[in-house]
Amino acid sequence: MDTKTLMAALRGEFVEKPGDRLCAVHGGYTVRTFATDEGKYVGEFPAECPACKADAITAAERSLREAKLREDMQTADIPLAYLPCTFRNYLPTCPDAQAVLATVREYAKNFADHRKVARSMTLQGSPGTGKTHLGVALLKAVMWEGGSGRYSTMADMVQAIRSTWSRSSSDSEAAVIRRYTAVDLLVLDEVDAASSRSDNEVGLISNVIDQRSRNLRPTVISGNVTKAELLAAIGDRAADRMRDHGGLMVVMDWSSYRGVRKTA
């Protein structure tokens, strides 16, 4: 039925009877059939299996979300090597790894609640335990739900900010800092020991994390350092921000699983 006829049918202008239809995929469903007073068939509603229509809408929505995610991942600076990383293809090699996977998944699932108080997360542990994998998987999960995000190593972020100090730079320092402070979630990877950073660099890192916290934007940081070194690397003020409101410290100290999987 065209729209005009359907509206007339729904207003009661035709004789209505229930009818049964069979979908090859979803089984039986009920329709409303409409006819004139003389018994001439006008049409029926719904005109197709409701479950099939819902599946088509879901598939179309998923396709649009996947296209948006691909676009967002380009602006999020996720390295090509880590683009395939998801929670599903993270392979826990021990009970502790399974527990960490569950913790990070819960954080992603309830990110909206964590964001309300800027509850951040720290991934700390040995090389090859999957910190980057889980950080990227978390970032992609947040972006899948419509959030914005950015991935960066600590060194790359510091270098990007410092590059604006050159007279030849076309970017201002404030504009570059906004790239890291304006997104819903920042994953700051490869945070190294404070002894390898100048006070100026630690100050830059601390300023980014502090700005994010004050604007209720959580940060995930990770590094192959001890808890003390990890927090010292970002400065006392930012370390306090990372602990605010029950900030999570996730320890990943099991053996490396590089070689077990292609992307660790």
CATH number at 193 reads 3.40.50.300
- Residue 216 and residue 96 share a domain: yes
Q: Which of 26-40, 63-77, 126-140 has the lowest mean pLDDT?
A: 63-77
> Do 131 and 258 meet the contact criterion of CB atoms below 8 Å apart?
no
Task: Determine if the pTM surpasses 0.85.
Answer: no
- Residue 248 and residue 162 share a domain: yes
Is residue 260 predicted with pLDDT exceeding 60?
no
Is residue 182 predicted with pLDDT exceeding 90?
yes
Q: Tell me what percent of the residues of the chain surpass a pLDDT of 70.
A: 94
CA dihedral 233, 234, 236, 239 (to 10 degrees): -110
Q: Which domain-ending residue is among 33, 48, 63?
A: 48
- Residue 134 and residue 32 share a domain: no
- Residue 158 and residue 227 share a domain: yes
User: What is the C-alpha to C-alpha distance for residues 66 and 253, in angstroms, rounded to an integer?
Assistant: 34
Angle at 204 between CA 198 and CA 207, to 5 degrees: 135
Number of domains in the chain: 2
Tell the residue number behind the tokens 């030849």, with chain if given: 168
60 inside domain:
no
54 inside domain:
no
What pLDDT band is residue 72 in, cutting at 50, 70 and 90? confident
Peptide bond into 46 cis (omega under 30): yes
- Residue 78 and residue 23 share a domain: no
Q: What is the pLDDT of residue 116?
A: 93
Is residue 68 predicted with pLDDT exceeding 80?
no
Is residue 194 predicted with pLDDT exceeding 70?
no
61 inside domain:
no
Domain with 244 in it: 73-252
What pLDDT band is residue 263 in, cutting at 50, 70 and 90? very low
198 inside domain:
yes
Q: What is the pLDDT of residue 257?
A: 65
Summarize the confidence of residues 42-50 as an average pLDDT: 86
- Residue 114 and residue 78 share a domain: yes
Half-sphere exposure of 19 (CA within 13 A, CB side): 18
Model pLDDT for residues 196-245, shown as the tens digit of each residue: 667 788 888 889 999 999 999 999 999 888 877 877 788 888 888 888 88
190 inside domain:
yes
Backbone φ and ψ of 150, nearest 5°:
-150, 140
- Residue 230 and residue 115 share a domain: yes
- Residue 81 and residue 147 share a domain: yes
Is residue 264 predicted with pLDDT exceeding 50?
no
Summarize the confidence of residues 132-153 as an average pLDDT: 93
Is residue 118 predicted with pLDDT exceeding 80?
yes
- Residue 136 and residue 212 share a domain: yes
- Residue 78 and residue 42 share a domain: no
262 inside domain:
no
Is residue 262 predicted with pLDDT exceeding 70?
no
What pLDDT band is residue 25 in, cutting at 50, 70 and 90? confident
- Residue 38 and residue 136 share a domain: no
Q: Report, in angstroms and rounded to the nearest whole number, the Rg of the chain calculated over CA atoms.
A: 26
- Residue 97 and residue 223 share a domain: yes
